[in-house]
Amino acid sequence: MRIHLLPPQLANQIAAGEVIERPSSLVKELLENSLDAGATRIDIDVEQGGVALIRVRDNGRGIHKDDLALALSRHATSKIHNFDDLTNIHTLGFRGEALPSICSVSRLTLTSRTADAGSGWRIQGDGREVAMEAIPAAHPIGTTVEVRNLFYNTPARRKFLRSEKTEFAHLEELVQRIALSRFDVDIALRHNQRAVHAWRAGEQEHDQERRIAEVIGSPFLENALRIDFEASGLRLWGWVGLPTFSRGQADLQYFYVNGRIIRDKLVSHAVRQAYQDVLFQGRHPVFVLYLEMPRHEVDVNVHPTKHEVRFREGRLIHDFLFRTLHKALAETRAGSTQPGAVTAMNPSPAQTPRDDREPSPAPSYARQSALPLPPSSPAPWQVREQIAAYAALHPAAVPAPIAITDTTPEEVPPLGYAVAQLHGVYILAENAHGLVLVDMHAAHERITYERLKTQLASASIRSQPLLVPISVTVNERDARLAEEHSAVFAELGFEIDRLGRETLAVRAIPAPLCDAADVEELVRDVLADLHTFGGSTRIRERIDEMLATLACHGSVRANRKLTLPEMNMLLRDMERTERSGQCNHGRPTWTQLSMAELDKMFLRGR
């Protein structure tokens, strides 16, 4: 077996196997070329899910007549010229592989016209090694790429395609993701001569929201927070769904880096950590987020499909994403916004540290928890007479129920004043907008949980020495990692020594986890996170799980009767507590029925 050069056609077909997986990946390459050409309008026509025909027409700068044949040659591009350009890539495509790869597995027609040309020019290819010549063709300024009979000459590839419906679903999703990356471009999609989508360009916020509503649906915007935050040369902006608006699968997650669609495990991990305390197990958040950063700090030349990127400072990016989203979600206090309202958030950098939460006053209606209350907190009550004594000593903390009509809207608290309790489960309150319904157990569970976390964060995690050290066998890389990050483990309450090349000795563990931790599994998980993300929140997650259980058992139960002062105290604590719009499991703690909604229910005004 002698070494030989591959024929150009075979080399192109191999490259096509990396770049062109299915019709949707082909459309991605063509759309990115159109956007790089400065197009402000792109029309996409598809037949039979993209297998029979894909036609992409744009009004970009066009391709010069003499460059048409070169555009169908491998590694030919106008986007990079030297190695330095690879560290400052400002285009979506740059490899010079897309068009020749497509041409090698289909019948391709490329027609284009530049602004200084008197007419358009056309060139055709069908995967054969035949010299191609451009011929004149009528065409407006811009480019049209027409691809027919995809994989006609590679039947082994074609048989792996799915049904027309499935292939078009993938293609449509890709076009939607591209549409959300460039609000300033008109994009239209047709399938089998039928109009499917037509998105109008617009760069104002209301234009962006209109397109998002058209792509994802208006319920997302009605249950999303608008964020915009800058720090350390990074900017994160976009929309994040409220925890109560989650999905059973991660299908509505749109993340862009400098306008490029990406799927990155570091990004996914940071987002998942930010939502950790507010989502049901197995649920996934919904978001449309845009990260802007210096181009030389991110490497997009990682994979031929350009879906993956590599960040130069991965830990910095992870912390920036986590802290920004964590802070945004923490501000979703009950009553701070009307449910479903979109709010702007731009905190100062000083507000972003993870444990900067202000301690919430300890709810006096809570039962004694497993963790002691700070000395400055009022003593918890066990009988109803004690809450009455508390109300007498602190009348401002327990406002008496008053008529809303006797006050101005500015004087009414966001959640209003309690008027009744329904079946021992819900609190009914009246505020300036109408009726507020509160799930008292879910709300109190969140308040108790946040209080326990604040207490624990106010002091370092105490270690519990082990009578007999636990030996953990790991590989050499993890043993070295544990040795290098011994200070990180110590901060988390662990004392770990390296005994040998592949052996660790755990001599102390976090005290809160003494009775509920698989130490060996936890150490391995933390080491895996340190290797992948440069840090770990595993121990904090386990402790939070324990605190959540304590909060659940230490919260007021259903069918427990509360007095009006007790209910009002709960409402005031909800207004002060972070994330109080959702319980620890992601369920909503309150909802608002406006007077207009109530009038509609009873047909008033008709």
CATH 3.30.565.10 positions along the chain are 8-197
Residue 408: pLDDT band with limits 50, 70, 90: low
Distance CA 605, CA 589 (A): 31
Q: Three-state secondary structure along 497-528? A: EEEECCEEEEEEEEHHHCCCCCHHHHHHHHHH
pLDDT tens sequence across 506-545: 998 877 677 656 788 888 888 887 877 776 666 667 667 7
Separation of alpha carbons 442 and 580, rounded Å = 9
CB 451 within 8 A of CB 471: no
Of 303 and 41, the structure prediction assigns the larger pLDDT to 41
In angstroms, rounded to a whole number, what is the distance separating the alpha carbons of residues 581 and 450?
A: 12
- In this predicted structure, what is the pLDDT of residue 459? 64
CATH of domain 216-351: 3.30.230.10
Neighbours of 533 (CB within 10 A): 20
Instruction: For the beta carbon of residue 366, count every other beta carbon within 10 angstroms.
Output: 20
Which residues, including other chains, have CB under 8 Å from residue 465's CB and lie 6 or more apart? 495, 507, 508
The token pair that represents 419 in the structure block: 């008027």
All residues at 6 or more sequence positions from 601 whose CB lies less than 8 Å from its CB, including other chains: none
**CB atoms closer than 10 angstroms to residue 398:** 21
Domain with CATH 3.30.1370.100 in the chain: 377-606
Tokens, residue 131: 């010299």
* Average pLDDT of the chain to the nearest whole number: 82
Every domain of the chain with CATH number 3.30.230.10 lies at 216-351
Picking from 315, 316, 319, 345, the residue whose alpha carbon sits closest to that of residue 330 is: 345
**If you write DSSP's letter for every residue of 98-118 in order, what string do you get?**
HHHHHHHTSEEEEEEE-TT-S
Return d(Cα 383, Cα 271) in angstroms, integer: 43
Would you place residue 240 in the very low, low, confident or very high pLDDT band (cuts 50, 70, 90)? Answer: very high
For the segment 249-264, the average pLDDT, to the nearest whole number, is 92
Q: Do residues 186 and 41 lie in contact, with contact meaning Cβ atoms separated by under 8 Å?
A: yes
pLDDT tens-digit series, residues 174-219: 999 999 999 999 999 999 999 999 999 998 999 999 999 999 999 9
| Rounded distance between C-alpha atoms, residue 330 and residue 332, angstroms | 5
Q: Which of 200-204, 466-470, 587-591 tops mean pLDDT?
A: 200-204
Q: Which residue has the higher pLDDT, 128 or 204?
A: 204
Residue 504: which pLDDT band, with cuts at 50, 70 and 90? Answer: very high
Does domain 8-197 fall under CATH 3.20.20.140? My reply is no
Residue in 271, 258, 235 with CA at minimum distance from that of residue 181: 258
Given a cut of 90, whether residue 112 has pLDDT beyond it is yes
For the chain, the C-alpha Rg in angstroms (whole number) is 30
> Can you tell me the distance from the alpha carbon of 19 to that of 306, in angstroms, rounded to the nearest whole number?
9
* pLDDT for res 452: 75
**Residues 288-298: tens digit of each pLDDT:** 999 999 988 98
**Could you give phi then psi for residue 288, rounded to 5 degrees?**
-130, 105
Can you give the pLDDT at residue 159? 87
The pLDDT value given to residue 366: 34
Out of 71-80, 266-275, 344-353, give the one with best mean pLDDT: 266-275
End-to-end CA distance of the chain: 88
pLDDT of residue 570 exceeding 50, the answer is yes
Average pLDDT over residues 543-559: 70
What value does the mean pLDDT take over residues 128-143?
86
546: pLDDT strictly greater than 70: no
For 351-387, what is each residue's pLDDT tens digit?
333 333 333 333 333 332 333 333 333 333 332 333 3
Question: What confidence score (pLDDT) does residue 210 get?
Answer: 96
Query: For the segment 45-69, what is each residue's pLDDT rounded down to a tens digit?
Result: 999 999 999 999 999 999 999 999 8
What are 295-319's pLDDT values in tens digits? 889 888 776 667 778 898 988 999 9
Give the residue-averaged pLDDT of 406-419. Answer: 79
Q: Percent of the chain having pLDDT more than 70?
A: 82
Residue-level pLDDT at 124: 92
Q: In CATH terms, is domain 377-606 a member of 3.30.1370.100?
A: yes
